[in-house]
Amino acid sequence: MIERPAFLDLKNAGLLAVMVLVALLALIIVFGPLSRAAESVESERQRYVEKVERLKQRVDSLKPLSTEARTRLSQFVAGLQQQTIQLGVNPESELVREVSRLLESTGVRGVQVIVRQNHEAEEGDGDRNLIEVAPLEGGASFRLVPHNIQAQLRSDFPDLRRALDRLADPTVPVQVERVTLVRQGNEIHATVRLVYWSREERS
């Protein structure tokens, strides 16, 4: 006579059902998060593959600069070197002298120049918005350094126009931020806030 296995006995059916349920729950607990993690990893991998492919397409589309373009860039860099000055041991007084000379050459009067302190710049060079310039054809690289300047002056309309035109000249290393004008009789009192760019040579 063949005996039935004990686990097939109806008395053990409840125990068998519990065991199957526990096994199913274990599979769900283990493979559920693993499946989601695998999907996340695959999605991230696909995103990086697409990013690399886009970068490769951009690199493939780049063309070397023509001789004419390289010449223009070299001339532009040479112009920056000629138009900017290197500040010495007393940079503030040099800035005052340079900006005063620039404005007074246009005929305005009573020029007073103040170098405004940039609190962000005092925290470190990384916050000074320096512009790195490296010549294409070799030679020493340099940095363009911004300085915040406030200038007050008195003038009539023609001289003031000449002064503003001079500040707007692209060969002058100045970026005008704000101009405030107040008329007093036949004179214009102006306050000009600007950024004056100097040069720092790199070894």
With 80 as the cut, is the pLDDT of residue 65 above it?
no
User: Residue 32: what pLDDT?
Assistant: 61
User: Residue 18: what pLDDT?
Assistant: 58
What CATH number did the domain enclosing 83 receive?
3.30.70.60
Answer yes or no: is 99 within a domain. Answer: yes
The helix (H) or strand (E) run that includes residue 128 is none
Give the residue from 200, 203, 195, 202 showing the smallest Cα distance to 84: 200
Q: What is the C-alpha separation between 142 and 201, in angstroms, rounded?
A: 4
Answer yes or no: is 1 within a domain. Answer: no
Q: Are residues 55 and 122 in the same domain?
A: no
> pLDDT band at residue 20, thresholds of 50, 70 and 90?
low
Q: Are residues 86 and 182 in the same domain?
A: yes
User: E strands of the chain, at which residues?
Assistant: 109-115, 131-133, 142-155, 174-184, 187-201
Min mean pLDDT across 18-22, 135-139, 154-158, 194-198 is at 18-22
Domain that holds residue 138: 67-201
Q: Are residues 24 and 95 in the same domain?
A: no
Domain boundary among 15, 45, 60: 60
Q: Which residues pair with 34 in a beta bridge?
A: none
Q: Are residues 110 and 78 in the same domain?
A: yes
Q: Are residues 79 and 30 in the same domain?
A: no
Over residues 153-197, the pLDDT tens digits come to 999 888 888 998 998 888 889 999 999 999 988 889 999 999 999
Answer yes or no: is 87 within a domain. Answer: yes
Answer yes or no: is 102 within a domain. Answer: yes
Q: Are residues 52 and 85 in the same domain?
A: no
Q: Are residues 71 and 159 in the same domain?
A: yes
171 CB-near residues (< 8 Å, 6+ apart): 79, 83
Query: Mean per-residue pLDDT for 142-154?
Result: 92
Domain boundary among 44, 60, 76: 60
User: Residue 127: what pLDDT?
Assistant: 46
Phi, psi (degrees; rounded to nearest 5) at 172: -95, 130
In the chain, how many domains are there? 2
Q: Are residues 73 and 56 in the same domain?
A: no
Tell me which DSSP letter residue 114 carries.
E
Q: Are residues 78 and 172 in the same domain?
A: yes
> pLDDT band at residue 124, thresholds of 50, 70 and 90?
very low
Answer yes or no: is 2 within a domain. Answer: no
Mean pLDDT across the chain, nearest whole number? 78
Pairing of the two strands 109-115 and 131-133: unpaired
User: Residue 129: what pLDDT?
Assistant: 80
Work out the burial of residue 185: count CB atoms within 10 Å of its CB; fewer than 13 is exposed, 13-18 middle, 19 or more buried: exposed
Over residues 125-135, the pLDDT tens digits come to 444 588 888 77
Q: What is the C-alpha separation between 61 and 175, in angstroms, rounded?
A: 35
Task: Please give the model's pTM, rounded to 2 decimal places.
Answer: 0.62
Q: Are residues 156 and 114 in the same domain?
A: yes
Domain boundary among 40, 60, 80: 60
